[in-house]
Amino acid sequence: MKKHKLTLPYYACIALASLCFLNTSILEAQNKKKKKKNADTEVVAEAPKKSKDKTIEELVKSSKEIDGLFKIYQDTIKGSLQMLISEDQIGKEFIYFSQISNGVMDAGRAMRGIYQGSKVFKVEKYFNKIEFITQNTSFYFDPENPLSKSKDANISDGNMASIEIAAYDKDKKLYLIDADNLFLAETFSQIKNPSRPGASPTEFKIGNLDKSKTKILGINNYPENTNMEVEYVYSQPSVLNGGSNAVADGRNVSIKVYHSLIAMPENDFEPRFDDPRVGYFTTEVDDKTSASSTPYRDLIHRWNLIKKNPELELSEPIEPITWWIENSTPLEWRETIKEGVLQWNKAFEKAGFKNAMVVKVQPDDATWDAGDIRYNVLRWTSSPEPPFGGYGPSFVNPRTGQILGADIMLEFAHFSNRVFYDKVYELTSSTKSFENLTSNSNDHTYCFLGDELHDEMMFASSVAEAAGASDFELERIKKESMTALIMHEVGHTLGLNHNMKASQLFSPEQLNDPDFIKGKCLTASVMDYAALNVTKDRSKQGQYDDVAVGPYDIWAIQLGYKPFKTEAERQALLNESTKPEHIFGNDADDMRSPGKAIDPRVNTGDQSNDQIKWAIDRIELSNNLMKDLKINFSTTGESYQELRRVYYLLSSQKGSAANTISRFIGGVYVERSMVGQEGEKQPYTPVSLDDQKRAMNALSTYVFAPDAFDAPNDLYNYLAMQRRGFNFRTPEDPKIHEQVLGYQKAVLSHLLHYNTLQRISDSELYGNKYTLSTMMSDLNNAIFKSDISGNVNSFRQNLQLEYTNMLIGILTNKQGSKYSNLAQSMALYNLNAIKGMTSSGGDISSRAHKQHLKTLIDNALKEIK
């Protein structure tokens, strides 16, 4: 039979399985003729019925065998896949992990190196089928507790696939299944992003999965993991919008994905549980048999680092965390990258490990790909539309929190002078991308430090250039910020999440002392998105960015990795959280978005323990630079693109600094120390009256005042983009009023946010002395008082109208009924006050503006009655 099979076509092979070869094959042929129309379905319907009598050997005869965790057979003619499951794999748990091997920004999150998370699945047998079932890992039941008998109640597992067994080997206890549907469809994970609600109909969308074009690109099988690279093709007959230049043909878009099926690690890894005082990534687990008000068994993500010599205070690990610098990395950056990674060894030494981190370079002739999960790779790309300058994802065993692999993606754009975003004066790029990218995903490892740093680096370089700095100094800015970026992204891969409060460590005076900061981390942690240290007084300029890990980092690594002898020892270390250098607050607490959080110390793009003073300095520094911009940034023989870039850069720095200041108004400091802990502070303390007043005065002067955005008028004549073919934005003139109003609106959207106003009223009950009525009266005065009786310049007209409309919005509930009664009363009071202030004085333009204001208010008052 075997001999015959080699030469027979597929349908005849099936027929051969029956003993009457001739008769059956004739019948088969006749049937085919009779039912020509249904030919396809007929063959498919018959195949399983007949193939069940074939042996595994027969079914894989024309296939290449690829041995590994799950043995794979690939047909040498058609490329189709079969997979072998052994009896001892049935009922067992495995880990599934996937990452994007290559894609385009246009397809949502489908970009090279994006991790799609890991999950646990079980292989089960159900009669004649093999099932792949996702396990729910979110709950814990104490096995000693009788409740554990009902641990499956109201919890859904996920049956991803149920595939008929094609052949069974009784002796070897092996099952063969067709694996095309496992890997060529979106069986294990969703690849195509669902379209966003409210997405514009003209927005680019990829088509539907085209199975005929989808194919296996590579199979790498190892004893511990089975890996498959698949190219998914999404097709549609026609497109309205063909996507960006990165898409060659909008009708056919490819997303390449690595799938990995991984053996559940069998080791004595000890899970550690999360503590709110330190910031590790976690897998959240609820203890359903605990009566505690905090029934959490959240597993922190950490590597399985074990001392080679446990008796030694300082020992090398049995297996270090090894990093590979991808061979695509520019040669001149390799040493800096290596040094950045190895800085973490200082933290591990405090945790008892010597040489915990090791760095190697991927050889140019390496036989492995950087996407191989067995290697942790520092990767380097130059993407058409880089979403971030750096990204440091890791993936874990969801049962224990053990980190199994990690990569770091770096973007060349980080070191270019390109501006990543178009409308620079809207939200900062990071806020924008953060919101877009995280809305569809639970991936908390997105990191936008690269973007922030890129802006900061351009700012620092512009200040240095304007002051005539040497090339050496400009290189130093790049090197320091690269070191900081690497340390930060590596920190993520060690399990640490952001610490946006870390920049509170030093005072402005300390940061202005080059000797004091030399060789240090400029904040408590490299996990912050701190602004670069750029001094207003150039003679005090020292280090620009972190060159070492910070004190918080060293403490946190000890908590995650130190082999504690007792729980008391761990608790004692945790109790050091009240030390100023262990200050911590992450993205959930940070105030980068208007109205989102409450502690102004937890913020991005800021610096020092006096952010108001720091922000004023930065605004003044930008204003000073603006004066000689044209002289310093115009180059003979070149276009004005560079001048335009620096103008928008300085303006956005001012906008960002203004936002930092605004967060103090209505702010409440948060402490997370435990009851009775040494150095304990009450959880909520409103910002002092002095600081809130100081913030309001600063906003009045630097954001709202009639001259706040003065720039040399003849500068505007030169803010020109360089023309490029037909692909040129029109109309091209600088939109100066829109830009300035953008910064002012950003500040107002925080001050007048329903959360901010509600908190001001509430915190009056527990220590806030800057009352809602005072704050809103001060704001009204800041926006109207200085010019309402005379001429109102065009920036102020814009601001006053926008603000008035916002007050009307509060009253007329255009934002729903989220505003408190107290806030609405003050909005009404202010509208009446504006009406009262509005005289008929001033030039025609000012009178027109005031009439407009009056009409708006009158109409609104009529509406609310």
- Interface contacts to Zn ion, rule CB under 5 A: 447, 449
User: Distance between CA atoms of 626 and 537, rounded to whole angstroms?
Assistant: 16
Name the token pair of 609: 């323990």
Q: Which residues pair with 409 in a beta bridge?
A: 379, 391
- Residue 552: partners with Cβ closer than 8 Å, 6 or more residues away: 499, 502, 524, 525, 527, 581, 582, 583, 584
Task: State in angstroms the smallest separation of the CB of 498 from Zn ion.
Answer: 5
Contact criterion met (CB below 8 Å) for 658 and 619: yes
Say what the alpha-carbon torsion angle 395, 399, 402, 408 is, to the nearest 10 degrees: 10
User: Distance between CA atoms of 685 and 598, rounded to whole angstroms?
Assistant: 10
Helix axes 736-751, 641-662, angle to 10 degrees: 20
The amino acid occupying position 780 is: N
DSSP 610: -
Nearer to Zn ion, 450 or 742 (CB): 450
Nearer to Zn ion, 443 or 802 (CB): 443
Say what the alpha-carbon torsion angle 656, 658, 659, 663 is, to the nearest 10 degrees: 150
Nearer to Zn ion, 427 or 447 (CB): 447
Task: State in angstroms the smallest separation of the CB of 587 from Zn ion.
Answer: 9
Task: State in angstroms the smallest separation of the CB of 428 from Zn ion.
Answer: 15
Q: With the C-alpha atoms ordered 155, 158, 164, 168, is the resulting torsion angle positive or negative?
A: negative
Nearer to Zn ion, 216 or 449 (CB): 449
User: Distance between CA atoms of 309 and 295, rounded to whole angstroms?
Assistant: 36
By beta carbon distance, the residue nearest Zn ion is 447
Task: State in angstroms the smallest separation of the CB of 545 from Zn ion.
Answer: 15
Collapsing DSSP to helix, strand or coil, 732 comes out as coil
- In degrees, to the nearest 5, what angle opens at C-alpha 77 toward C-alphas 75 and 80? 40
Contact criterion met (CB below 8 Å) for 638 and 729: no
Task: State in angstroms the smallest separation of the CB of 457 from Zn ion.
Answer: 16
Name the token pair of 383: 């993407």
Task: State in angstroms the smallest separation of the CB of 534 from Zn ion.
Answer: 21
Contact criterion met (CB below 8 Å) for 118 and 280: no
Task: State in angstroms the smallest separation of the CB of 593 from Zn ion.
Answer: 16
Task: State in angstroms the smallest separation of the CB of 57 from Zn ion.
Answer: 52
Nearer to Zn ion, 448 or 709 (CB): 448
Q: Which residues pair with 393 in a beta bridge?
A: none
Nearer to Zn ion, 97 or 434 (CB): 434
Name the token pair of 317: 């690990």
Nearer to Zn ion, 15 or 449 (CB): 449
User: Distance between CA atoms of 46 and 65, rounded to whole angstroms?
Assistant: 26
Task: State in angstroms the smallest separation of the CB of 434 from Zn ion.
Answer: 11
Residue 206's Cβ-count burial label (10 Å; 0-12, 13-18, 19+) is buried
Nearer to Zn ion, 447 or 521 (CB): 447
- Residue 801: partners with Cβ closer than 8 Å, 6 or more residues away: 849, 852, 853, 856
Residue 208's Cβ-count burial label (10 Å; 0-12, 13-18, 19+) is exposed
Nearer to Zn ion, 441 or 641 (CB): 441
DSSP 426: S
Task: State in angstroms the smallest separation of the CB of 608 from Zn ion.
Answer: 20
**Radius of gyration, alpha carbons of the chain:** 32
Alpha-helical (H) ranges within 343-380 are: 344-350
Task: State in angstroms the smallest separation of the CB of 438 from Zn ion.
Answer: 13
User: Distance between CA atoms of 100 and 370, rounded to whole angstroms?
Assistant: 12
Q: Give the DSSP letter string of 267-308.
A: S-----B--TTS-B-EE--EETT--SSS-B-PEEPB----BS
Nearer to Zn ion, 216 or 437 (CB): 437
State how far Cα 802 lies from the chain centre.
Answer: 32
Task: State in angstroms the smallest separation of the CB of 433 from Zn ion.
Answer: 13
Nearer to Zn ion, 321 or 788 (CB): 321
User: Distance between CA atoms of 246 and 251, rounded to whole angstroms?
Assistant: 13
User: Distance between CA atoms of 394 and 719, rounded to whole angstroms?
Assistant: 43
Separation in Å, CA 348 to CA 403, 407, 420, 488, 559: 16, 19, 36, 15, 10
Task: State in angstroms the smallest separation of the CB of 298 from Zn ion.
Answer: 20
Contact criterion met (CB below 8 Å) for 5 and 61: yes
DSSP 541: -
Nearer to Zn ion, 604 or 622 (CB): 604
Task: State in angstroms the smallest separation of the CB of 85 from Zn ion.
Answer: 40
Name the token pair of 820: 């408190």
Task: State in angstroms the smallest separation of the CB of 614 from Zn ion.
Answer: 21
Q: With the C-alpha atoms ordered 621, 624, 630, 632, is the resulting torsion angle positive or negative?
A: negative
Task: State in angstroms the smallest separation of the CB of 379 from Zn ion.
Answer: 16
Task: State in angstroms the smallest separation of the CB of 449 from Zn ion.
Answer: 5
Contact criterion met (CB below 8 Å) for 491 and 346: no
Nearer to Zn ion, 251 or 596 (CB): 596
Nearer to Zn ion, 447 or 597 (CB): 447
Nearer to Zn ion, 449 or 626 (CB): 449
Nearer to Zn ion, 103 or 450 (CB): 450
Name the token pair of 713: 């008028």
Nearer to Zn ion, 447 or 741 (CB): 447
- In degrees, to the nearest 5, what angle opens at C-alpha 391 toward C-alphas 279 and 447? 50
Contact criterion met (CB below 8 Å) for 699 and 747: yes
Task: State in angstroms the smallest separation of the CB of 492 from Zn ion.
Answer: 6
Nearer to Zn ion, 447 or 530 (CB): 447
